[in-house]
Amino acid sequence: MAEIEKEANFEDILKASEEVVGPIYPVVVDKRTLEIVDGKHRKKADPDWPEVKIEFKSEKEKLLYRIHANLMRRKVSRKERASQLLELALHLEEEGVPREKIAQEIVKLVPELSPGYIINLLPAKYKSKGRRKAGIKSAEARKKKTTVDVPGLGKVDLEKEREKEEVITVNLAELAYGAVPIELPKPEAAASKIIPETGEVISSTVIEPKQHPKPEPKPKVVKVFPCPRCHVEVETLYCSKCFSEISIREIAKILRKAMLKEA
């Protein structure tokens, strides 16, 4: 939804720009297929936007033209760039380029993008075995590394600290609804206190904390029910007067409210 809104805003900007200075960059069209290679937003903003027809030798050449045009004039999302690089990788694979060398080939074809950026966006199958192994090893090393040096405390074992946290952590959301009783330290035996002046002995009684009962589980809202005649699961019903569609879920809610009022 956000992407659609961005495109709509971009088209409005193009329309406003055209009214002020006229069309600047022409729309690039494939001469053979009449496909818009560059300038789809401009064409949406104005169907009469000037066009330039170019004859491309292959789909790969057309794709490279689109990538370079985008690099020069507009910011492309990471998702769209990854899609373009994957498509280019597939073209190179069809041409016989080994998978482990495809990233290097793309770096040559699109020098504006850094090698690291290209490798990060490409799927794992197009990365060299060394890089894949290095990625796996680094992930395992991060998991194994549980001891860290903390200034003033020395070495701290993160796993042990997590275990301590798990013991004392209480789910506040569950406590709010009384689903889990609060566990307090067990009270010690009744303590006796002697007042030195009088020698009187006073016994103190510890009050036990109240245990909250667990709430009963809420009944699930019915979404479908079987037809008594054909036994097919029905999801909606129709009003005999206005023919409006009513879902089984809505009917279940109405019945539940009626039952609560009667109770």
Percent of the chain exceeding pLDDT 70 equals 52
The pLDDT, as a whole number, for residue 52 is 92
Query: Secondary structure of the chain: what % helix, strand, coil (to 5)?
Result: 50, 15, 40
Spell out the domain ranges in the chain: 2-135, 146-182, 225-262
198-217 pLDDT tens trace: 555 555 555 566 677 777 77
The pLDDT, as a whole number, for residue 11 is 76
The pLDDT, as a whole number, for residue 21 is 78
Residues in Cβ contact with 59 at an 8 Å cutoff, skipping those fewer than 6 apart: 91
Residues in Cβ contact with 128 at an 8 Å cutoff, skipping those fewer than 6 apart: 100, 103
pTM above 0.75, yes or no: no
Q: Where are the alpha helices (DSSP H) in 30-77?
A: 40-45, 59-73
Residues in Cβ contact with 158 at an 8 Å cutoff, skipping those fewer than 6 apart: 146, 147, 148
- Mean pLDDT in residue range 176-199: 49
CA distance 203 to 164: 35
The pLDDT, as a whole number, for residue 91 is 93
**Cβ(122)–Cβ(132) below 8 Å:** no
What Cα–Cα distance (Å) separates residue 69 from each residue in 12, 26, 72, 73, 110?
21, 12, 5, 6, 11
What Cα–Cα distance (Å) separates residue 181 from each residue in 98, 165, 173, 187, 212?
62, 18, 12, 16, 6
210 vs 8, residue with greater confidence: 210
The closest alpha carbon to 181, from 209, 207, 208, 211, belongs to: 211
The closest alpha carbon to 37, from 24, 47, 52, 22, belongs to: 52
CA distance 56 to 63: 10
What Cα–Cα distance (Å) separates residue 214 from each residue in 27, 39, 185?
67, 62, 20
38-51 pLDDT tens trace: 888 888 888 888 99
The closest alpha carbon to 70, from 41, 35, 93, 95, belongs to: 41
94-131 pLDDT tens trace: 999 998 889 989 988 988 788 888 888 999 888 766 55
Category of 119 on φ-ψ map: left (φ > 0), alpha (ψ -120 to 50) or beta: alpha
